[in-house]
Structures are given as C-alpha cells and as structure tokens.
C-alpha cells in the first residue's frame, strides 16, 4: 500500500509540459495513476508552460495553445477538478521568485552532474549552447515541489535525480534557516515504466512521430497499430515468436485487462503458429475500447472551452495562495521581509 492511502495527509504534485498532445505513454506512466491518486491524496497537477519555454522560446505559441489541449486531455481521462487542483505554472510568479532564491543554493558543477539534465542535453544536441533556463531546470522543479510542500511526486525512473536534487536544496535551505520550513519529498515510480514508441525506440514521443495520441480517431489508431513493431525474426506464421522487445505485447501487457487470454496468446506466439496480424488485431481492439470514451469526453469538454478556462483559473488561484504563503516563509527566513 502506498503511503497516504488511509487519508489525504500527503500532498502530490505532478504535471506535464504542454508542448503537444498527450499520448499513451503519458497515460500509462502517469494519467491513469492521477485518476486514482485524486481519491487518495490532495493532488495538484501543474501545466508547466514556463518550463516548456526553456527549449521552445522560439515558438511560444505552441506552448500557449497546448495549455488548453492538455487540460482537455486531463479532463477527458477522468481528472476531476473537484478532487484535483489543475494549475498553470506561469500564472504563479512566486514559483519564479523561489527559483531565483534557490539558484544560490546550488552550484554549476552540481547541475552539470545531474544525470537527467546530462541525458536531455545530449538528446537535444545542445552541446555547450545550453539555454540557461533549461540548464537550471532542476532548480525550477525544486521550486514547484517545495512551494506546495509536496510530500509525494510521481515520476519516471529517469526523473529520480531531479527529486534528489530537490531534497538537497530543501535540506540546505532548512539548515540556513535553522528550522524546517520546506519539506522533503518522495518519488513515486509507477509499476509500468516508460512505453516504447510504436517503432520500437526506447521512448514514445510526439517529437519522434512514434506516439499514439489520446485524441486519435479510430482510423488513426488502426493505422498506428498496423505499424507497431513486433518481432523481426518472426517471418512466417509457423515460426516461433519472441516477446522481448515486441512492442505489440508490451502494449497488451499495459492495457489488456484479460490477462489469462493474453497469456494464452503469448504462449501460442512463442511456440509458433500465430501471426502478427492476429496479435495486432487484438491490440487494436483493446486500444479502440480504451480511447473511444476518452475521445468522446474530450469532444464534450471542448464544446465549452470557457468552462475549461474557468477550471484552470480557479485551480491556479487556489494554488497561488499556497505558493505565496511558502514564499513569505522563505523570504522571512533569509531576511527579505523588510516591512
């Protein structure tokens, strides 16, 4: 049992960078857990639009437009604004203020050692031309987490170094203040890790064009499943198939609720006599059933975007009150409350 399931004493902070539509990787990695978490914890879900600009400053319109699109995805999968607080990062200036203070608690050398940042820099081919905002991303994330005094933060394994760095900053600040003002947090890593892309690459990503988006039509789902990577050695139906690295079966493991039937299919595939087309037909059926109600709910919410905007405004207002209180405590501790 996860800590906090007996009551709502734990506060969760989670969220996404609104740089494009959400996809199955987001769903299995975080979204469906957030729907469960909102009944167990006090949950804040952040649309991290300001952080999205750290590598999208040349196209801010993309980030702006996707705030609404991602909010629609949240509501469509079952995030209830009566149970979860959805907020827009850029509309809470206290987060930027806390980031500025925390930058004095971390060195350039420490940021350079952060494995997550090192990996992201390589992936984006920044080399030494790293935007300063992107380089200091861990500090901004520490501000986001600590502003709400979140105790639990759902992340993938690749984000654990960010949580560790957040706690380093929290501990250093509390030592400086000589009392516990900020709160350390714990990473919650989902049981099912990152989904590979339909092409078999390690990460499903909208930028790589290998994702199945939550708002895909039935025809788009069918076309995507047709291109799902299976077993390149399974040349004939009679050949024994391999499950390792087989994206079709990875997706079925994540989404097919008939585990007994799925196991029978796996056994048949491994011993031979089962074609990839049959496996993909099962996968398509599972994904069509999963995404159809999400797509329909999204279409209903999209009919009244003003209502969605009001949900974001109210959530942001509530969140800002909490962030402002934490910021006042931080400023008082370091002698910046002059009147």
Give how far Cα 263 sits from Cα of 35, 253, 286, 309, Å.
27, 9, 15, 44
User: Where residue 4 falls among pLDDT bands split at 50, 70, 90?
Assistant: very low
Residue 50 pLDDT:
95
pLDDT (tens digit per residue) in 150-193 = 999 998 888 899 999 999 999 999 999 999 999 999 999 877 66
User: Where residue 112 falls among pLDDT bands split at 50, 70, 90?
Assistant: confident
What mean pLDDT do residues 201-212 have?
83
What mean pLDDT do residues 187-200 have?
85
Residue 3 pLDDT exceeds 80: no
**What's the whole-model pTM score?**
0.89
pLDDT (tens digit per residue) in 257-313 = 999 999 999 999 999 999 999 999 999 999 999 999 999 999 999 999 999 999 999
pLDDT (tens digit per residue) in 37-67 = 999 999 999 999 999 998 889 999 999 999 9
Taken in order 298, 5, 156, 152, is the CA torsion positive or negative?
A: positive
What mean pLDDT do residues 219-232 have?
97
Residue 8 pLDDT exceeds 70: no
Q: Report helix, strand or coil for 238.
A: coil
Give how far Cα 273 sits from Cα of 179, 245, 259, 267, 276, Å.
67, 19, 20, 10, 10
Decide: 21 and 73 in contact? Cβ < 8 Å.
Answer: yes
Residue 194 pLDDT:
76
Structural domains in the chain?
11-195+305-333 (3.40.50.620), 218-299 (1.10.240.10)
CA distance linking residue 224 with residue 211, whole number of Å: 8
Residue 163 pLDDT:
95
């Amino acid at each position: 049992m996860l800590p906090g399931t007996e009551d709502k004493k734990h506060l969760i902070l989670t969220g996404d960078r609104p740089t494009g539509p959400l996809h199955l990787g987001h769903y299995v990695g975080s979204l469906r857990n957030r729907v469960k978490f909102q009944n167990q914890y006090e949950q804040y879900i952040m649309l991290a639009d300001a952080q999205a600009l750290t590598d999208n400053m040349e196209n801010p319109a993309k980030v702006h437009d996707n705030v609404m699109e991602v909010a629609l995805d949240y509501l469509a999968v079952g995030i209830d604004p009566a149970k979860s607080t959805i907020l827009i990062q850029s509309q809470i200036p206290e987060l930027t203020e806390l980031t500025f203070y925390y930058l004095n608690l971390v060195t350039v050398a420490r940021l350079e050692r952060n494995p997550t940042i090192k990996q992201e820099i390589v992936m984006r081919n920044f080399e030494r031309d790293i935007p300063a905002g992107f380089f200091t991303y861990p500090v901004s994330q520490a501000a986001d987490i600590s502003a709400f005094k979140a105790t639990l933060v759902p992340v993938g394994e690749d984000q654990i170094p960010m949580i560790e760095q957040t706690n380093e900053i929290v501990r250093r600040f509390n030592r400086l203040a000589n009392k516990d003002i900020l709160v350390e947090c714990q990473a919650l890593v989902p049981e099912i890790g990152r989904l590979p892309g339909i092409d078999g690459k390690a990460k499903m990503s909208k930028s790589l064009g290998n994702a199945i988006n939550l708002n895909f039509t039935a025809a788009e789902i069918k076309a995507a499943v047709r291109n799902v990577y299976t077993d390149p050695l399974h040349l004939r139906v009679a050949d024994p198939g391999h499950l390792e690295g087989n994206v079709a079966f990875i997706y079925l493991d994540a989404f097919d609720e008939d585990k007994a039937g799925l196991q029978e299919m796996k056994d048949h595939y491994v011993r031979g006599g089962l074609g990839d087309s049959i496996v993909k037909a099962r996968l398509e059926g599972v994904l069509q059933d999963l995404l159809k109600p999400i797509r329909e709910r999204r279409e209903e919410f999209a009919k009244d975007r003003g209502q969605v905007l009001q949900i974001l405004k109210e959530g942001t207002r509530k969140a800002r009150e909490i962030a402002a209180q934490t910021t006042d405590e931080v400023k008082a501790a370091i002698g910046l409350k002059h009147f």
